[in-house]
Copies of this chain bind each other. A is one copy, B any other.
Amino acid sequence: MKLGICLVVAAATLAAQTPPPAQASKPRGGRGMSTPANALRSPEVHADRTVTLRFRAPDATKVELVGEIMQGQGPKPMEKDESGIWTITVGPLPPEIWIYNFRVHGVDVTDPSNPAIKPTPPGQAMSSFVQVPGEGPAFYDSRPVPHGEVRMRLYESQAMGVTRWLWIYTPPNYDKTSAKFPVLYLLHGNGEAQSGWVMNGRANIILDNLIAERKAQPMIVVMPQGHALQGANVGPLVRIAGETGMFSERFEKDLIGDVIPLVEREYRVYRDADHRAIAGLSMGGGQALSVGLNHIDTFRWVLGFSAAVGGQFMPAEKTFAQLLADPAAANRKLKLLWISCGKQDFLYQANKQVAQIFQDKGVRLTYKETEGAHVWSVWRKNLEETAQLLFAARRGAGADAR
C-alpha cells in the first residue's frame, strides 16, 4: 500500500527526542475540524412554520431557491448580504418533509449546512430536505416504541455477477424470539438505491410505529438494489456493461434467484406465497407489478405506487399477458393487487389506464387515486396505508371486500 508505509517509533526512541514545541498546530483547511461556529444555520425552521435558508457564496452573482419547497412556483432569487451570505425565507409550509436546492448560475447544489440529502437519479443534482413539524409526531416520526433493525448486508449476486448491498428491516425483538415472519419485498425508484425506502421513506420508522400500535403484522422488509450496477467496490451507479435501460432483466433474476433464497436461508421467515408481498414506487412499482403478476405463485400480495407502467415503460398487454390470459387464476390466488397514483403525478394517466385494462379483463384490484405528484410524501403515505393490509387474513383482501 502506497499510503501504508508506516514507521513505528519505539517509545524509547521518542523519549530520547527533544519534546515538540508546545504551541498547538493550527488546523489547515478545517477538514474534520470545523466547529459549529463556522457553520451557517440552515435550514432554520421557525415556530410559525416558515423556513429560512442560508448559503455562503461571495463569488456568485446569481443564487435562487428551487424545489418542492416552492410549492409549485418557479425559482425565487435569494438575497446576498455584504459578507457574501445569501438568504431567503419561505412559507409558512404545511407539515411535511420538503425538498430544495440552491441554484448557482444555473447549477443546482445542495445546502452545505444541511447534511439531510435526498438521493436523486444520475445526471441530476442531489437535493436537500427539511422537515417542518406539525402539532404532534407524524406517522413517519420516530417515537419511544420498540425499534426494529435495518440490516445492511453484502451478497454475491449470481444474476448480476457482482457483490452488492441488500437492506433488510427486521421487526422489534427479532433476536429475542423464535417466531417466523412474513416478508415484504420493497423496491425503490429509478436512480435511487436500496437505501431509499429507509433514508427517504422512513420505512423502518413507519413499521415500528404501526407494529407498536398493532396496526400492522410484524414483518421483515427486504429492500434490494433495483438497478444492474457494478457492485460494492465501484461507484454505486456504474452500470454493468451492456445495461443501458432503466429496467434490467437481471433484476428479476436477482430477486427470484438470489435475494429470495438468501432471505429464506438466513432469516426466520415463512416460505410460502401467502407470506410474500412485493411493492414498489415508480420504477420499483413497475418492477413490483411486472415481477409480481408474472409470479403469482411466489407473491400473493402485489402493489404498485406511482408505478412506471404503460406504453412508455412497459406495455400492459405484453407485460401482463399471463395475468390477462387467466384473470380467474389471479383472482383466486392474489390476496391483494393494489395500484395507486397521485392525481398530479406525470404517471397518473398511465396508472389509470393500466387499472382500466385490468378491470376490463375482470382482474380484481384496489385502484386508488390520491393527492400529490411524483414525490416521497405520497409514497410514505402509501406504505403507511398498505402495510396495514398486508398478511392480514381478513382485512388484507381488498378485492374480496367488494
Interface residues of A (CB under 8 A from B): 1-12, 14-15, 17, 19-40, 43, 56-61, 94-96, 104-110, 112-117, 119-126, 130-131, 133, 137-139, 141-144, 147-156, 163, 175, 189-193, 198, 204-205, 208, 231-237, 239, 244-246, 266-267, 281-283, 308, 310-313, 343, 346-350, 352-353, 355-356, 359-360, 364-372, 374-375, 377-378, 381, 385, 402
Contacts and interface: CB of A to CB of B under 8 A. Distances in A.
A323 B179 CA distance: 48
Contacts of A364: 11
**A interface secondary structure, majority:** loop
Q: What 5 A-B pairs are tightest by C-beta distance, nearest first?
A: A59-B106, A39-B123, A24-B312, A39-B122, A150-B152
A248 to B, nearest CB: 11
Contacts of A114: 122, 235, 237
A377 B310 contact: no
A124 B109 CA distance: 12
Quick one: copies of this chain in the complex? 2
9 contacts: A3-B377, A7-B343, A7-B370, A12-B402, A32-B189, A36-B122, A37-B244, A112-B125, A117-B117
B107 A60 contact: yes
Interface centre among A36, A116, A189 (most CB of B within 10 A): A36
Contact of A310 (B24, B109, B233, B355): B24
Contacts of A6: 368-371, 381, 385
Contacts of A130: 235
Given A31-B120, A374-B31, A402-B10, A163 B142 contact: yes
Contacts of A370: 3-7
Contacts of A378: 3
Given A59-B106, A152-B152, A20 B112 contact: no
Nearest to A365: B11
A346 to B, nearest CB: 5
A139 B1 CA distance: 9
Contacts of A368: 6-9
Contact of A381 (B4, B17, B21): B4
B105 A57 contact: yes
Contacts of A311: 22-24
A367 B14 contact: yes
A124 B36 contact: no
Contacts of A191: 32, 34
